[in-house]
Every structure is written in C-alpha cells, then in structure tokens.
Amino acid sequence: MVDVSAAEFEQHRRFLTGLAYRMLGSLADAQDVVQDAFLRWHGAALAGIASPRAWLSTTVTRLCLDLMKSARSQRERYVGQWLPEPVIATLASDPTLAVEERIDAPVALMLALERLSPLERAVFILHDLFDIGFGEIAGAIDRNEAACRQLLVRARGHVGEGRRRFEVDPDEAAHVTTAFFAAIGSGDASRLRDLLAEAARMHSDGGGKRIATLNVIHGADRISRFFAGVAQKHGPEAFQAWSGPLWINGLPGYVSADDKGLVQTTALEIENGRIVAIYIMRNPDKLAAAASFLHRA
C-alpha cells in the first residue's frame, strides 16, 4: 500500500534539500534537516495544510534557523578558511538546471551568504533564489512583510556579485580541468600560469584537521608558484589518483588523492577560458562522499 503522505513529501525533497543546503552550507546537515521535516510532515494533520510546499519550506527554514544559532558560534571558531561542503556530480549531469532543481550552489554565492545574518540569509534565499513571496517568508521567519523587505535590501547589499554563475559547457569543463590537473602535477609554474587569470584567487579549507592555506592566495604568479612548490616538495605522490572531470557545485573540478589516500576536491571557476578562482576542500569532515568518485589515473 502506497503511503500517500510520503509520496507527496518526496515530490518536494530535492527542493527542500537545496533550500537547506543554501541555508547551512553542509549537505549532511541539510539532509538531516529534511529528514526531520519529513517526520513532522508525517505526524501533521495533512488535511489542514493548504499548500504542502509552503508548509514544508516554512518548516525547513525554521529548522535551519534553529541549527544556525549553534553553527554560527562554531563557524566563528573555525580554523582557516571556510568553504561549503562540496556537492559532486558527473559531467553527464546538467549544470544549467533551474535553481529549484539544484541541490548545490556556486561557491562564490555560498561565501557571500556567509556575510549575512541568519534572517538576512533566509530572506535572500527564499525570495531571490526560490522566488517565494514576502507573505510566505514573513510567516516562515516570524517577521512582518516590511521587516522582510528591509532584510532583503541589506542582504542584497552584502551579496553583491556573488550570485553570478558563469556557465561552462562540459567539453570546456573537461578540457580545463584535465589541463589544470596535469599542470599542477608537472611542477611547471609557467604551464600552470597560462591557465590562470591575472587576478585569480585560491581558497583552501582544511578545517584545522589537514594542512591548508590559512588565507586566500591572490594572483596568478603566487598561485602558480605555490603549486610548483608542492610538486617540488612532494613529487608525483601528491597527485597520485584523480576522478577525471566532474561538476563540483556546478563548477568544473575533480576529486584527487595522494599516495597516503588523503582525499580532496578542487573546483575551478572559469571566465573567458581562464581560471579566476580555485576552491580546494581538504577538511575530512566534508569529504565523506568524495572518495567514491575516485579512480586511478
């Protein structure tokens, strides 16, 4: 016998997971929140719910806001740079899906959202990313519509250009990703530099558990010298296995491992054929699913 309430919920699971991921920056936490929302949905008097989607998005938003109260203090004590948990997909996946069908979000946007208060973040995500009206948002965050509009104005001012997503087709994604992995393994700084925009930047998140750069590295010269130094110090062992090209938060990238089996993800933001940003995730707490994408080069 089909559980009608469960079937109804499943129609909204992907949307809810994407909403929670954008709120929290953690796919694991987002999935936990959505499961909690399912339990509440299963125990609710469904006959009295006029719009299941609105009820569920309100429930998920409130659960995320509760979780963010403790997560915010933890984030303030975070060692080094913070990056969102990577969401990985094969190149066969469509990186141009509508926002409501995507679970991931561009890393630049997620970093911009980190500058917002929890309420600003909620209003911006619900209104500007998911096109939800102020009446529904007001009910979700327990504020009036005027307050929601003010929160949105402040949020937009902080987010700025972070919401942009530069589309890259799968062929270009595969080409640039493969060339980048080969260049960093070669230790040839000039070969790597040719792939980088002049003002490129590199972010690296080790969470205090693995070695990572504590600050953003700016500029093609400094980035290329950094990777050349890694190759010179560790040799081919630092780049032993890789996944081949993938999408990571909608950006071209890959999963790699060294000779000790330590896994990381690398995502590349590309504009006009050059890499403008590199996002490296080394924090093992955020890499639980990444190793499954690895194969021997």
Same domain, 228 and 139: no
3-state secondary structure of 185: helix
- Cα–Cα–Cα angle for 70, 73, 77, rounded to 5 degrees: 135
Q: What is the pLDDT of residues 241-257, one digit of tens each?
A: 889 999 999 999 999 99
The answer to whether position 85 is within a domain reads: no
The answer to whether position 57 is within a domain reads: yes
Going from the C-alpha of 79 to that of each of 107, 197, 204, 225, the distances in angstroms are: 19, 28, 11, 24
- Considering only residues 113 and 6, tell me which one the structure prediction assigns the higher pLDDT: 113
Same domain, 194 and 125: no
The answer to whether position 95 is within a domain reads: no
Residue 8 identity: E
Long-range contacts of 26-35 (CB under 8 A, 24+ apart): 26/84, 26/85, 26/286, 27/85, 27/87, 27/103, 28/85, 28/288, 29/67, 29/71, 30/103, 33/60, 33/63, 33/64, 33/67, 34/60
Q: What is the pLDDT of residues 210-233, one digit of tens each?
A: 999 999 999 999 999 999 998 888
Give me the numbers of helices (H) and strands (E) for the chain, helices first please: 11, 8
Q: Write out the residue range of the structural domain in which residue 37 sits.
A: 4-80+118-163
* Backbone torsions φ then ψ of 191, nearest 5 degrees: -65, -40
Q: What is the 3-state secondary structure (H, E, C) of 10-35?
A: HCCHHHHHHHHHHHHCCHHHHHHHHH
Contact 132, 19 (CB under 8 A): no
Rounded to whole angstroms, the Cα distance separating 85 from 221 reads 28
The answer to whether position 182 is within a domain reads: yes
Give the pLDDT score at 45. Answer: 67
Same domain, 23 and 73: yes
Same domain, 147 and 263: no
Mean predicted lDDT score pLDDT of the chain? 89
Contact 86, 286 (CB under 8 A): yes
Same domain, 147 and 214: no
Domain count, the chain: 2
Q: What is the mean pLDDT of residues 18-39?
A: 95
Q: What is the mean pLDDT of residues 14-22?
A: 96
The answer to whether position 8 is within a domain reads: yes
- Name the pLDDT band for 176 (thresholds 50, 70, 90): very high
Same domain, 176 and 157: no
The answer to whether position 109 is within a domain reads: no
Give the pLDDT score at 297. Answer: 43
The answer to whether position 94 is within a domain reads: no
Give the pLDDT score at 240. Answer: 72
Same domain, 27 and 136: yes
CATH number, domain containing residue 205: 3.10.450.50
The answer to whether position 102 is within a domain reads: no
Same domain, 136 and 257: no
Same domain, 48 and 126: yes
Same domain, 19 and 129: yes
- Name the pLDDT band for 10 (thresholds 50, 70, 90): very high
Domain boundary among 110, 131, 163: 163
Same domain, 153 and 274: no
Same domain, 154 and 193: no
Q: What is the pLDDT of residues 60-89, one digit of tens each?
A: 999 999 999 876 666 667 889 999 999 999
CATH number, domain containing residue 125: 1.20.140.160
